[in-house]
Chain A
Amino acid sequence: MGMNEKRIVAVTGNEAVAEAMRQINPDVCAAYPITPATDIMQRFTSFVSNGKVKTEMVLVESEHSAMSACVGASAAGGRVATATSSQGLALMWEELFIASGTRLPIVMALVNRALSAPLNIHGDHSDGMGARDCGWIQLWSENGQEAYDNMVQSFRIAEHMDIRMPAMVCLDGFIISHSIERMEFLDDEIVRNFVGEFKTTNPLLDIEHPVSYGPLILTDYYMEYRRAHAEVMSKVKNIVLDTAKEFENISGRKYGLFETYRLEDAEIGIVVLNSAAGTTKDAVDIFRDKGIKAGLLKPRLFRPFPYEEVGEALKHLKAICVLDRADAFGASYGPLFMEIASALYKYKERPLMFNKIYGLGGRDYMPGHAEEALSELAETAKKGVVKTYIDYLGVRE
């Protein structure tokens, strides 16, 4: 099954994403540089210049144009990919909805970074969370390996004939994008066979069958189009699971809708996205060694959110702390907390829950922070009372 074909390498998260894109060899890429995603497209453009891929590389004057070019190329009938971060994603905003509403299976790596102001270039989920309801599929990645694996899988998911929706692969800026780790690359041939030949739906370049993209849809049909979009989203999780199963066959690596760590018999649990999950797993081990039944859940498919499965995985806990690396500035709970609360709402008996905002603007998330959250969880479970529903972790008073 090609299990022997893997290459063990030491690369950064950005290199891993660029490598996946090289292997997939999209028809068109359009991008504009922005830290910390710049590195992905910089590497990819050298693949283009050196003839390693046949991609038409479109260098544009802004992210607004980058996503516009991606939309056009995708509607024309090409396999399309790009990458961005933070302000770049913000500038793509209106095109994100156009890509999803037009059902264009564009794949984009999102290297998560804080939004200005104050200007900050570091890892933070406010960009991806801001774009969580733009109709795209979102897969989140703990490390470079997961980012690479998610990139490869996301083409299959986005381009699936029952889906045809754009997908975003999220990885933490700098913490993952610029850190070197050991990972396994698949053989080019294996990746290409896995991703398969790109199939078109109503391509603009098929002049035998002329089509128009982007018509005006008013009060009489807009809601029906949104309802149809929702129906497609409801099919995504099964396609994600099927794709993961096939991916396991070529890689030996297992993926699901989320990852659980020592959660099955746990009494307290932390829910956290991306790189902070690694640190938290170590803290969970420390608490387990102390005889405290701690566990972790790390969502992977964040959009569409698998409420049912997440609810089932968490409902037995006494207390849950949801860690959010995106702030609603005191106007609301963090975005991940709201999803977890929604997933558990339907249960009559449900865990006590609280929310911690951590790591904003790339602020280090240390093992001590995870232990602080776990200690508060143990206390909450013991007393049966939540001390503070929402608070910051690691902020100076």
Chain B
Amino acid sequence: MKLRGWRELTPGAVVTEAGSALKFKTGSWRADKPRWIEDNCIHCLFCWAYCPDMAINVKDGKRGQFNFDYCKGCGICALECPGKKGNKAIVMEEEGK
């Protein structure tokens, strides 16, 4: 993407386009990566509700894979995950291992 010059900016850095955070992929910030263990998932969607970005894909009320373009590896989903019978459906692992 060609970077704009100073004459082409919106005054005061105001963002006039709704939903433009979609264009800002923050996945590269990640140091720890969540792993989804489908067998332990009860599809409560707590992870989706707590995710501060939009890194949890949901379809037809069921949780899907992570969207790693937006996952910064904060670990909130793993913390909130109730799992099944004490076994977490999300665990954090070091990125690149």
Residues of A within 8 A of B (CB): 101-104, 164, 201-202, 209-215, 217, 220-221, 223-225, 227-228, 231
The docked-state distance in angstroms from the alpha carbon of A145 to that of B4 is 46
Q: Is B12 an interface residue (CB 8 A)?
A: yes
State the CA gap A190–B22 with chains docked (Å): 49
A and B contact pairs by CB, cutoff 8 A, 7 listed = A201-B11, A202-B10, A211-B15, A213-B14, A213-B15, A215-B15, A221-B9
* A202 in complex: contacting residue of B3, B4, B9, B14, CB < 8 Å: B14
Contact of B11 among A164, A214, A220, A227 (CB under 8 A): A164
List 9 A-B pairs, minimum CB-CB distance, nearest first: A103-B12, A224-B6, A212-B15, A227-B6, A102-B12, A103-B11, A202-B14, A228-B6, A210-B18
Q: Considering the chains assembled together, what is the distance between the CA atoms of A103 and B9 in angstroms?
A: 12
B13 touches A101 (CB 8 A): yes
Nearest CB in chain A: distance from B2 CB, A: 11
Contact of B16 among A103, A209, A225 (CB under 8 A): A209
Q: Please determine whether B16 and A228 come into contact, CB atoms closer than 8 angstroms.
A: no
Neighbouring B residues of A213 by C-beta, 8 Å: 12, 14-15
Residues of B whose CB lies within 8 Å of any CB of A are 3-7, 9-16, 18, 20
Across-interface contacts of B3 in A (CB, < 8 A): 220-221
Contacts of B20 in A (CB 8 A): 212
Chain A at the B interface: mostly helix, strand, loop or mixed?
A: loop
**Inter-chain pairs besides A209-B16, A224-B5, A228-B11, 20 sampled, C-beta below 8 Å:** A101-B12, A102-B13, A102-B14, A103-B14, A164-B12, A201-B11, A202-B10, A202-B14, A211-B15, A213-B12, A213-B15, A215-B13, A217-B13, A221-B3, A223-B6, A224-B4, A224-B9, A227-B6, A228-B9, A231-B6
Scoring A164, A202, A220 by chain B CB atoms within 10 A of each residue's CB, the highest score goes to A202
Total A-B pairs, Cβ < 8 A: 52
Q: Which of chain B's residues have a CB closer than 8 A to the CB of A212?
A: 14-15, 20
In the complex, the chain A residue whose C-beta lies closest to that of B10 is A202
A217 cross-chain contacts in B, Cβ below 8 A: 13
Residues of A within 8 A of B13 (CB): 101-102, 214-215, 217, 221, 225
Least CB separation from B19: chain A residue: A210
A217 and B16 CA atoms in complex are apart in Å by 15
- Chain A residue numbers with a CB within 8 Å of B10 are 202
CB-defined contacts of B5 to chain A, threshold 8 Å: 224
* Distance of A202 Cα from B13 Cα, bound (Å): 11
A231-B7 Cα distance, complex, nearest whole Å:
9
**B9 proximity list for chain A (CB < 8 A):** 221, 224-225, 228
Question: Can you name the residue of chain B whose Cβ is closest to the Cβ of A227?
Answer: B6
